[in-house]
């Protein structure tokens, strides 16, 4: 267990101020012992650790069986727990916030779940500096579940994957994985930061930013641009079916984040599931080869520098993302520097010279409909042909592709 704990602690240095590297041997040993005790309370996944607070010479934990959380978060068959009931709202608020809570709130939550707070004694009293608290917060979250109401997620899907041979499938997945890594590496050297995470769908990947907020979501949209550009360049150069043809969807919505178990411990890597992944899966099934779809959304997103929330819809989001793209100017793609990038939602030119934004309605096999926007990304390079991603609006105009126009909105 100590080896697992040490490996987990070593990952924290990148996300805290000084992090684990700034701690002495005794402090590191203290945290390793805490992680061991958290693992014991986690009980191989039987329990979630939903909250903690400093107490005496150690910490108090809110340890709740996973089925107890589910019984409050979901209405039962008789409808005894209605959506938006006070108890359900309390649970969702608990899952949506920082795991460190005050003792009074922790004790109230324990009464609601019919459990007793669990006290964990530490070898050394906590140094309640922000760095130590942040490290403990990350340790506890590994054994918890979190709800994010406004997370941006992109889905890359390999067209015709099931028709490939197993070797071709492996090769194309590896090519897409390389494009993800390459795009992320390129962004590391810029002012655009993405705390990048991914999850395999079998024939593609979900990707998201572990950080939250308007800027974090916009940064993920830019990462998606670079992934698709790297893939497009690779396709032009490849022989045979070694580089995938992609279709891509982007959406913002609610999701649960959790750590799956690997062996007898939760993994460092997190996974997500929720409304946003469900919507993406249904959107991608209707997307055309090479197409980029952006789901229709309207949600509050926290601004990064202040915690004030702003109301953002799909059109405003893409407009804001376009303003940030100048930070990628000069970045090299296949040895050629980027002059500029233009991302936009497509529509038709109006008499005034403005362009509308076409909202499309798509239906799935369950008879459910949702609204989406067709997106284009044009990447202009200094001494090379531009990279044009997505499909033209005119291809969608006649409604023959299973997408019908709902409304046309003049862009700001």
pLDDT digits (tens, 9 = 90+) for 4-29: 444 455 555 444 444 555 567 777 88
Residue 226, Cβ neighbours under 10 Å: how many?
26
Distance CA 358, CA 369 (A): 16
β-sheet bridge partners, residue 377: 343, 389
Task: Return residue ranges of the chain for CATH 3.30.70.1230.
Answer: 148-410
Complete edge-to-edge strand list for the sheet that includes strand 58-65: 47-55, 58-65, 118-121
The 8-class DSSP code of residue 181 comes to H
**Is the Cα dihedral 107, 307, 344, 245 positive or negative?**
negative
Give domain 148-410's CATH architecture.
2-Layer Sandwich (3.30)
Distance CA 33, CA 41 (A): 13
What's the pLDDT at 399?
61
Let me know: does 257 contact 145? Beta carbons within 8 Å: yes
What's the pLDDT at 22?
59
Instruction: Write out residues in the chain with pLDDT < 50, as ranges.
Output: 1-7, 13-18, 78-81
DSSP string, 106-133: HHHHHHHHT-PPEEEE-SS----SHHHH
User: Within 154-284, where are the H helices?
Assistant: 166-188, 214-237, 275-284
Joined tokens for residue 287: 């997307």
What's the pLDDT at 251?
98
Residue 175, Cβ neighbours under 10 Å: how many?
19
């Amino acid at each position: 267990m100590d080896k697992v704990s040490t490996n987990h602690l070593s990952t924290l240095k990148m996300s805290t101020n000084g992090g684990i590297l700034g701690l002495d041997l005794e402090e590191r040993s203290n945290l390793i012992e805490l992680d061991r005790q958290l693992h014991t309370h986690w009980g191989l996944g039987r329990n979630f650790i939903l909250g903690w607070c400093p107490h005496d010479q150690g910490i108090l934990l809110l340890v709740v069986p996973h089925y107890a959380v589910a019984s409050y978060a979901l209405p039962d068959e008789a409808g005894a727990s209605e959506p938006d009931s006070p108890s359900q709202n309390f649970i969702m608020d608990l899952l949506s916030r920082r795991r460190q809570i005050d003792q009074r709130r922790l004790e109230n939550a324990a009464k609601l779940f019919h459990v007793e707070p669990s006290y964990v004694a530490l070898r050394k009293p906590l140094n309640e500096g922000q760095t130590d608290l942040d490290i403990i917060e990350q340790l506890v979250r590994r054994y918890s579940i979190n709800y994010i109401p406004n997370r941006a997620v992109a889905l890359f899907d390999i067209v015709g994957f099931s028709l490939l041979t197993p070797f071709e499938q492996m090769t194309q997945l590896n090519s897409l994985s390389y494009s993800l890594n390459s795009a992320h590496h390129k962004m590391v050297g810029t002012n655009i930061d993405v705390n990048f995470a991914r999850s395999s769908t079998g024939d593609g990947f979900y990707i998201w930013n572990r950080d939250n907020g308007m800027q974090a979501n916009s940064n993920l949209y830019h990462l998606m641009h670079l992934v698709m550009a790297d893939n497009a360049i690779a396709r032009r150069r490849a022989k045979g079916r070694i580089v995938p043809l992609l279709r891509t969807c982007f959406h913002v919505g609610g999701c649960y984040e959790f750590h799956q178990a690997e062996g007898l411990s939760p993994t460092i890597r997190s996974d997500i599931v929720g409304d946003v992944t469900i919507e993406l899966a249904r959107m991608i099934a209707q997307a055309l080869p090479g197409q980029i779809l952006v789901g229709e959304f309207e949600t509050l997103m926290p601004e990064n520098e202040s915690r004030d929330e702003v109301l953002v819809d799909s059109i405003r989001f893409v407009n804001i993302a376009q303003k940030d793209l100048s930070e990628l100017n000069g970045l090299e793609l296949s040895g050629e520097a980027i002059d500029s990038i233009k991302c936009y939602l497509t529509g038709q030119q109006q008499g005034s010279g403005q362009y509308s934004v076409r909202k499309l309605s798509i239906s799935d096999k369950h008879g459910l409909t949702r609204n989406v926007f067709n997106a284009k990304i044009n990447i202009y390079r200094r001494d090379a042909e531009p990279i044009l991603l997505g499909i033209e609006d005119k291809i969608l105009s006649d409604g023959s592709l299973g997408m019908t126009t709902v409304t046309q909105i003049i862009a700001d």
